Amino acid sequence: MSVVLIVEDELLELEFLKLIVAEELLPKDKIITCEGGIQAVKLAKQYRPDMIVMDILIPEMDGLQALQEIRKFLPQACVMILSACSDFSYAQTAIRLRVQEYLLKPIKPSIFKQVFHDLLTSVATCQVHADEEIVERKTNEVYFIEKSIKYIHDNFKQKLSLQLVSSNVFLNPQYFSRIFKQEIGVTYINYVNKLKIEYACKLLETTGYPAYRISSECGFTDPSYFNRVFVQQMNITPKAYRRIHLYDSEDKG
């Protein structure tokens, strides 16, 4: 859906612009209008238009001042300036504010319609490209996370830092941490520690290794930290876990 904001204080001119714009839009698209600069900024924040048709000489705040404020939160919006002033300083300011078209009044309906149509086509093309980029980025993120999961499962028995895993998939650690939580649903450290504690339980059940060796076998460098993580996940100490398991095994025997 496209959203178009028209800012014009002359009511007849506003209706003229709205009529032509409506002819170019689809039924699902939206047209928003106002007569002053302050209201234009407010509506732009609320509706975040893809296109803005802006007169310069409007009440409260002129069109270029309003656009300067709008650019702070809508840097990519496509803008057409309408002006009865041919002052070059206005055009310079418009260029600095990345205005796509600057038309002098009076404007022939056919010219406005053609320019608006071309800008609308440009906006639609940009939206398609933006959607394609989002899909491509999402696909890449899934690929990188799947690759990192395989690496984690192959190497979790050693010390496995976030930096090491993120570098393996060529991602910034902070970005990797964020998309890992987003895709997997738990933090990186919690995911790795869960694998380590599952392996620790297996060792406690099948070997007579002391807790400090099991800690090392699972990739923990600090036995006390291993104990804390184990209790956090299992609600029981490693020693008690082994005792309960041995008791259950003897009962079954």
Give the model's pLDDT for residue 200: 95
Give the model's pLDDT for residue 96: 87
| Lowest mean per-residue pLDDT among 58-67, 80-89, 135-144, 164-173 | 80-89
Give the model's pLDDT for residue 1: 83
DSSP H helices, the chain, are 11-24, 37-47, 63-70, 88-96, 109-155, 162-168, 173-184, 188-206, 211-217, 223-234, 238-252
Q: Which CATH architecture has domain 3-107?
A: 3-Layer(aba) Sandwich (3.40)
Give the model's pLDDT for residue 237: 94
d(CA 103, CA 85): 10
* Residue 50 dihedral angles phi and psi, to the nearest 5°: -80, -30
pLDDT in tens, 219-247: 998 999 999 999 999 999 999 999 888 76
d(CA 247, CA 187): 34
- Taking a C-beta distance cutoff of 8 angstroms, is the pair 160, 167 a contact? no
Give the model's pLDDT for residue 176: 95
| Lowest mean per-residue pLDDT among 5-19, 121-135, 156-170, 180-194 | 121-135
Task: Kindly write down the DSSP assignment for every residue of 190-243, as one continuous string.
Answer: HHHHHHHHHHHHHHHHH----HHHHHHHTT-S-HHHHHHHHHHHHSS-HHHHHH
Confidence check: pLDDT of 68 > 70: yes
The CATH class of the 190-252 domain is mainly alpha
pLDDT in tens, 96-136: 888 998 888 888 899 999 999 999 888 888 888 888 999 99
Mean per-residue pLDDT over the chain, rounded: 91
Structure letter (DSSP) for residue 22: H
Confidence check: pLDDT of 56 > 70: yes
* 252 — pLDDT class (breaks 50, 70, 90): low
Q: What region, left, alpha or beta, does residue 185 occupy, with left being phi > 0 and alpha being psi -120 to 50 degrees?
A: left
Give the model's pLDDT for residue 125: 87
Task: Give the chain's length.
Answer: 253
pLDDT in tens, 155-175: 999 989 999 999 999 999 999
Tokens of 67: 């656009």
Burial of 220 (0-12, 13-18, 19+ CB in 10 A): buried
Give the model's pLDDT for residue 250: 52
Beta-bridged to residue 103, according to DSSP, are 82
Which residue has better confidence, 107 or 177? 177
Domain ranges of the chain: 3-107, 190-252
* Residue 54 dihedral angles phi and psi, to the nearest 5°: -125, 125
- Identify the residue whose tokens are 């296109």: 51
Tokens of 70: 């709008």
